[in-house]
Every structure is written in structure tokens, then in C-alpha cells.
Structure 1
């Protein structure tokens, strides 16, 4: 109140309404992994949480996709071969498998999957680049300790509500993968308690009957029992359409892979030229002698085409050699045709020649097309956690955080890596240890759907469902921030009534939108505060103001039972 010393009119304003509780954001994931770069101008973003809202922003601050390098190796059996190669005189042929030589950096593809499934604002923590260290040798690797270090900076960021580490499943073995996932659980369930971890299954692209072992049983055995109500897991991995077939060229092969490709193309050419063609038996002459068999009319056309193929393939190999020479001369500056040209124009010229080589190979070699398709299938096989983070965002926006993120289709997903039946899901969803795994299933006419909404604490009636945990986090954080304004206010009845009415108004809004169950607000929630109700006189002397809030969070109808009974005819 102003000091009244000079005669006049003084204005006094009084607040008519108490503070209100503002609902906090519920769908802000934090992604941790490796990127091409991590910089904002001259400022490094390494191990610093950085907020983005689109894939364009991600590429601006963190760069583009990695360039995987595959080798072409002999397959132990034809059953597991990625490519089958025919050899002269062998109708069955031999099998080849594609193995990625460098580390499987999948954060970039996972971010694209996140945004294509409804993702919005998120945080990215880059823990390193594709080269692995400052040497820039291009032989980077994914390290568990670096991924764990990326979790710590999130302690200072209150906004993220989910933690996703897609590259944890790309580590060398289950043990190191589990160490990263346990660190995420510790962060979410112990240090912060305002966010959840979305976990992937190590080797989740394999069937549970795989000879290497049951990936679900291994995951459950290794994860432990701590903070399971702050995490959820999904199985299996998904086949996506993130990387287009047109984006894949021979550049995705390592030097050894390219050499193997040339050898295979020569074998393919030899088969094409020496395979049997339709022949006609000559008639014997007057002396009974039979001449050599000659190709039929159709056979001669086939031989002519094969000769053309051989010429084309020779041209392909010559073009490949020319490009390699041009690249080496470009690097040492000895190519006279490149003198005076800018780096950009040189890159365009080399890129055009590479595109021509790739197009020619695809036209003349079915084997090359098989190899590209096999590489595409490998790159498009992704763990589902990033997609689920996008689904959480979309569901929260359209329906609210209290809606279970299930019975929702996945975008940019062609099929789950493993087909799960009704019986298969029984052990995934309900198990003695309570570690429920949410299934991603394919349904005829509906596509690929998320078919589960449980946390890993499936035996808990309080925290069985992920939407219940996330709704409680939202209400707890919102009310905590709202009541922060009353810290150091008088601990008396006036403050108690103000806080109670503020919380009731907030919960009433949640109830009206369907987040709380009950025919009336009094059935949906209760708020208690006051001396003799939640506090003692000693609490007040110690400066403690206790508020007790009871809520009935809506739970999903996971099982719907319809009973049919025949009755007697009545008319």
C-alpha cells in the first residue's frame, strides 16, 4: 500500500483470483545417441541437451545420415543367405550374406521414424560423431559408457518426459546393452521421477524360437527389478520405409565389398553366357553323319542378348575404374579436366558419374539389384522405441496423456520383424515376474498396430499401465509447480484454502476431459489439507504444510468380455 502523506486519490489493486495450476508438457522425449556433428555455429553441443522441433532442425544442428559400409561374405547355408549367386554347372548356386563393417548408427533413422509417427518437440543429446574420436578415421564405434554419460546432462532439464536410447541395442552384447538401459531406469525412477524410459529388446528382430536363444527371456533375466514402473518395452523390431531404395547405391559397400561385387558380376556374366540355350538337333546327311547342334531361333536371340550383356558389363567395370581414378586424381589435384573447377562443380560431376554407374548396374545385373534390396532391408530394420515416442506425442495431443497409447497404427512401418499370434502374446503380456512386454502386431486389413500398454511392472495394480504412470507424473509435476508460489507463505487456514481450491480447479478440468474416473468430481478426486486433517501442530512449528490428493485415474479396457446365452423363444 502506498504511503499516504500527500492529499489525493490512491489506487489499490487486490487480486480476486488465486494462482492456477498449469498442465505441464507430457510428450517431450529426449534422444541420446551418435550424430554426424553436434554444433550450433561455433558452439559445441556434445553431451548438451538441445531442443528441436523438426527433422530440419536436427539436420541443421546434428547433421545427416551415416554411410554404412557392407561386406559381401559367404553364407554358411542358403537358408540364411541375403543373396543367391548362380555358378556355372550349379543350379542351386551359393549364398552370400551382407555384414555391416562399421558401427550401426541408427539415431538419424530413428529420429525420422519419430517425426513420421507424430513426434514434435524433443531434446537430442549427441554423445559423439560417426568417426568415433577426433582422429576422424571413420572407424567410430558405439560405446556404452558414452551413452550412459549422455543421460547425466538431462538431470538439469526439467521438460523431457521420456528417455529413448535407440543405439543401446546396437552395442556388442546384451550385457552392455542392459547396463545402458539400467542407467536410464535409474535416471527416470530414482533421480528424476518425472519421466519414463522407452526400452527396446536386444536382438528384438529375432523370433523367440531362434537358435541363438529367447531374446525376451534374456531381456527379463538381465534387466533386474528396480524402477520397472518407470519403463515400458516393445517387441519386435519393425521393418520400415525410412530409407528409400533410390537412396542406396554401391557406395554402401566397403572396398572389400566392392571387390567382391565385381567378382560376383563376372560370375553372373559367365553364367549368363554359358547357360544352356534351346538347341535343335541337325538331320543326318546322306552318309548318316550328324553335324553339330545349332541354336534354335529363340536360342540365337538369347545368345545375342547375352553378348550385348557382356559388352554392357565390361562397360560398367570400365566406368567404375574411371570413376575411382577420377576420385583419386581429384584428391591429389592431378586431373587436368578438373582444373579451374570449384569443389561444388567437381562434386556434382563425380555424383553424376556415380549415378550413371549405379543406373547401369541396375539395368544389366539382377544380382546387383538383389544386393541393394538386401542392404535396404538391413537399414530399414529398426527398434520401435523412437516410433513409440512419436505415438505417445500424437495420442497425448489428440486424446490426452490418460489415453493408453495402444490400438494405434505405426506410420512408415511395412511389417513387424516377427509375426506374433494371439497365443504368442500371452507370455509377453502376462508373466509370473510381471515384466510385461508390449507387442507390435500385424492384423489383416489394419496394418501394423501397437497391441499393448503396460509398464514393465505388470504385477502392480497401481502402475500396471503406462498411461496411468504418465498421467500421475503430469498431475504431480503440474501441482508441484503450481504450489511453488506458496512456499514461505503463512502456514494458516487462508493459505490452505487457497491451495485446496487451486488443486481442485485443476483436477476438475482433468476430470471434465476424461482423465479421472467418476460421475462427479467428488467421486473422481479428493483434496485434504489443514491442521488436524493432514498436519499436526508440530508440523506447523517445523514449517511443514502437508497436502493429500486422492485421484481415480482412468484405466484402459484391456480385456473386453462379451457373454452370449441362448434364450427360449418368446413369441
Structure 2
């Protein structure tokens, strides 16, 4: 209603020249769930509280450093190295190195949920606590768009599959605004194509629900996240066995005549100090000495480094998703790109091996990470787990649709409780059309014209009935043509007759 003017003077009224706009949501904000050394900001605990960070330095400040992964060593004459290494139960955690691998692959902003420290074993009940911890704590946060739980591979096989199925349910049923990146359990093992096949077991274990909301990658990666020169012998739990192996190696060198008896005795004296030295500075000094006089210790620590550096691919893929989104757009498939701090895949895959992974009968495609001569290590797959779906077969299509849905959803919230009439309908329609037109111009939508790329319908007799208006329901239908990746490129050659 117009304001009655009573006092003489000049009055100014401003009118809006431009309509409201749709603000594009972020598309590459991973959420990591796992165990950390600590979780605090000052005196405030951050356990089971999603925290946004933007650098590895922030992670160190809030969540602490690396776990001290412990190993057992045993003599094995049948092994090429002469010994076997195994992890000490409960000493291995994946989140710290996963964050490092994420940032080594152009990672940016991410959320971290710490469910506990290194004093406890990895438990599925902590990673997905129905009372509100772990995965469940992310239900109150709308910004994360990717979901990773690298520690899942440390659980038992059945617990890992159950947790991964819960991740898909979280993304596709509860939130519908994020995408899960999964690792194949025992993904460092060769495929056997029988009942023990790691890929087939993953397909059976992950279930059949909400498959379009996740993608899986195989195999694990040999990385350079941990420098073997930074490791020392204290990572070996059974030091007496280590001393025995090193002493036997010195005796073998003595028998072969490569060292003198006096030098052998001197080296043995240094080796025996392993069992006596507890001071940190003395340990560092002894480590420096042994690394020079005892090559066997160097080979053991190199093997320890290789085991620690064997990483699941999901953290590197989270960085790859971020890089693709920031450098191009969410419509760019996170494939045919190299991975940083990665030496090689742990298993070599060729075209024949990948054929069944990419086009299985059950549709549960597993994306391969492969090594190509002259190109390096490349991600060579762009499919969701719902490979038989024509709608959401590709990761880029699923994530693009999520981006459009969430962006328009937040913009439409401004019209809640507005009059359900033609004025509101036309304003909302114009807002959405402007947004979709911008996305078409940026290459997110397919078509030679906006009319071919999208269609927006709204109005009485079109998308709504008189009863809808009476019930306070406003309905709008949007159709979009999303660009899809050229997964198979076929080039046909034939000869033609000479013309001159």
C-alpha cells in the first residue's frame, strides 16, 4: 500500500532493476572421517565435530601428526629379501597420509571428522556411530560434496563393506548432495577371478542400493608420501628379531670375505645397542651410524617405507576431483589425468583386464588406475557404480546434476511463503533460466541453443492444479541436457581411389 505523503519535500524510492540470482554451490569439498593424533582447538575438543580446513598446516595444528605405525619382522629364507614384515595389529591409521596425498593432488578446502586418537584400534562403530559420531555427524553439514573414509580398508572385510554401503546410503538417501569415493578392499592384491577375487567380492559386499552416488577405484597406489630416510628402526616392534637378522647378515658378509673380522665385531657392537638405547637423541645417532655400516637395515627400512606408502586411491582421487572442478568444471570427468606423488599402481592392468571392470554384467563398474608408457600413471575410468543406468552411468553426469539441483534448491528457498501466483512463478522461472543459461554458456549443458539445452516449466494448468495452489504447493519442472564424456572414440579409415 502506498505511503501517504503529509510533509512537503522530496522523497526517493528505489526499485530493483535486476531479479534475484542463483549462487552456484561448491562442488569439490571432501569430508574425511578417521583417526588422528589429537582433535582440539585450544582446550576445546573436536572429536566427532566436522572441521573445515584449507591446508595441511591447519590439519597439523588441529589434528596432530602421523601415527607411529609398528611392524613385526620375521626371518623367511624363502623370501627374496630374507625376511617378512607385517603390521602390528592396531598401530595402522590411514587418515594422516590420506590428507597428505589429497593435498599432493591439488586438494583445497575439506572437512575432517576425527573419531578418536591413535591409542585405540580402528572400529566401524566409531567411524559410523548411530548416536551422532563419525559419518553421522556430517548429516548436519550441507557444504561437503565428497565423502571418504580411508580407514575403512583397515576393518574386517564384512565391516568394510557394511561401512561403504552406509556411505552410499548417506550420500543417496539422507543427504543427496554428496558423492562417495570408495576403495576396493584388499585392492593391493591381484585379481584371481574366483570366489576370492577382490573386485567381485567388493561388488557383492557393497550391495545394490544408491549405486549412482559413488565410484570405486582399483588398485592401490605406490606413493612417495613418506620418505624412507625419515624412518628409523624403532618402528620394528620385535627388536630382538631385528638384531638377530642384522647380526646374521654381518656373519654372512664375514664368511664371504667382504668385511674383516674386526669390522664385523665393531658392527655387531653397534647392532646390539639397538636393545639398550632408549634416549631419542641417542637413537637418532645410532640410526645414522647403522645406516652407513649396516646395509641390511637400510633394505628393511626401505621395505617398511614401501608398505607405508602403499595407499588406497580415494584420497588422490579426491584431489583429482578438486583439480578438475577448479580448473575446468564439474562436467569434466575426473579421468585421463595423472596423479601426484604416485610412482605406480600396485597392480598392472591392461586393456583385457579392464574390460570386465568397466562393463560388468551387474553394472558395478570399477575405475582403473593404470600406468602407460610415456604418460605415467593415469586414472582410466569415469563411471559410477551404477554402470547399467543410462541416466547416471558417469561420475560427471551425477555430480553435475547434483550441482544444478542444490544450486537451484538454495535459490528457491527465497520464495518459500511468497504468494503462490503468476508474479512469483515468473520471477522464479526467470531466475532459474538465467542460471541455466549461464551454465549452458560455460559448457555444462549440451545443445546448440538454450532451447536445446534446458527447459523450465511452471504455472497453473502446466505444472500445477488449482488444488496444488490451495494446498500451498508450487511445482516447477526442469529438464536439462547434460554433457557426457566421450568414453569410446571410434575412428574409421578407408581407402579412396587416386584422383590425379
Q: Is the shorter-chain TM-score for this pair beyond 0.5, marking a shared fold?
A: yes
In the TM superposition, 1:213-232 aligns within 5 A as 213-232=196-215
Match status 1:102 vs 2:90: yes
Report the counterpart of residue 354 of structure 2 in structure 1.
425
Whole-angstrom distance in 1 between the partners of 2:348 and 2:364: 21
State whether residues 241 and 412 of structure 1, in contact with CA within 8 Å, keep that contact through their aligned partners in structure 2.
yes
Whole-angstrom distance in 1 between the partners of 2:6 and 2:265: 106
Report the counterpart of residue 404 of structure 1 in structure 2.
333
Q: Deviations over 1:224-269 (max 9, x none)?
A: 1100000100000100000001111102111x1x111111122112
Report the counterpart of residue 331 of structure 1 in structure 2.
none
In the TM superposition, 1:154-553 aligns within 5 A as 154-171=138-155, 173-209=156-192, 213-254=196-237, 256=238, 258-275=239-256, 277=257, 302=258, 305-317=259-271, 319-320=273-274, 323-324=277-278, 327=279, 350-351=280-281, 353-553=282-482
State whether residues 68 and 91 of structure 2, in contact with CA within 8 Å, keep that contact through their aligned partners in structure 1.
no
Q: Deviations over 1:329-358 (max 9, x none)?
A: xxxxxxxxxxxxxxxxxxxxx33x222211
Report the counterpart of residue 127 of structure 2 in structure 1.
147
Distance 1:238 1:212, change over 3 A: farther
Q: Deviations over 1:293-336 (max 9, x none)?
A: xxxxxxxxx5xx42343143134135435523xx4xxxxxxxxx
State whether residues 71 and 101 of structure 1, in contact with CA within 8 Å, keep that contact through their aligned partners in structure 2.
no
Give, in angstroms, the shift of residue 463 of structure 1: 0.3
Whole-angstrom distance in 1 between the partners of 2:55 and 2:262: 49
Unpaired runs of at least 5, structure 1: 85-94, 133-140, 278-301, 328-349
Distance 1:7 1:384, change over 3 A: same
Distance 1:64 1:3, change over 3 A: farther
Q: Deviations over 1:411-438 (max 9, x none)?
A: 0000001000000000000011000000
Whole-angstrom distance in 2 between the partners of 1:28 and 1:38: 20
Report the counterpart of residue 113 of structure 2 in structure 1.
125
Q: Deviations over 1:33-75 (max 9, x none)?
A: 0000010111110011000000000010000000011111244
Aligned residue for 2:10, secondary structure, equals: coil
Whole-angstrom distance in 2 between the partners of 1:230 and 1:314: 58
Whole-angstrom distance in 1 between the partners of 2:89 and 2:146: 32
Give, in angstroms, the shift of residue 210 of structure 1: 8.4
Aligned residue for 2:128, secondary structure, equals: helix
Alpha-carbon RMSD: 1.5
For normalisation by structure 2, the TM-score amounts to 0.96
For normalisation by structure 1, the TM-score amounts to 0.84
Whole-angstrom distance in 2 between the partners of 1:192 and 1:524: 27
Which moves more between the two structures, 401-410 or 354-363?
354-363
Aligned residue for 1:455, secondary structure, equals: coil
Give, in angstroms, the shift of residue 212 of structure 1: 8.5
Give, in angstroms, the shift of residue 389 of structure 1: 0.5
Report the counterpart of residue 39 of structure 1 in structure 2.
40
State whether residues 405 and 453 of structure 1, in contact with CA within 8 Å, keep that contact through their aligned partners in structure 2.
yes
Unpaired runs of at least 5, structure 2: none
State whether residues 243 and 274 of structure 2, in contact with CA within 8 Å, keep that contact through their aligned partners in structure 1.
no
Larger Rg belongs to: 1
Give, in angstroms, the shift of residue 569 of structure 1: 1.8
State whether residues 82 and 374 of structure 1, in contact with CA within 8 Å, keep that contact through their aligned partners in structure 2.
no
Whole-angstrom distance in 2 between the partners of 1:177 and 1:321: 38
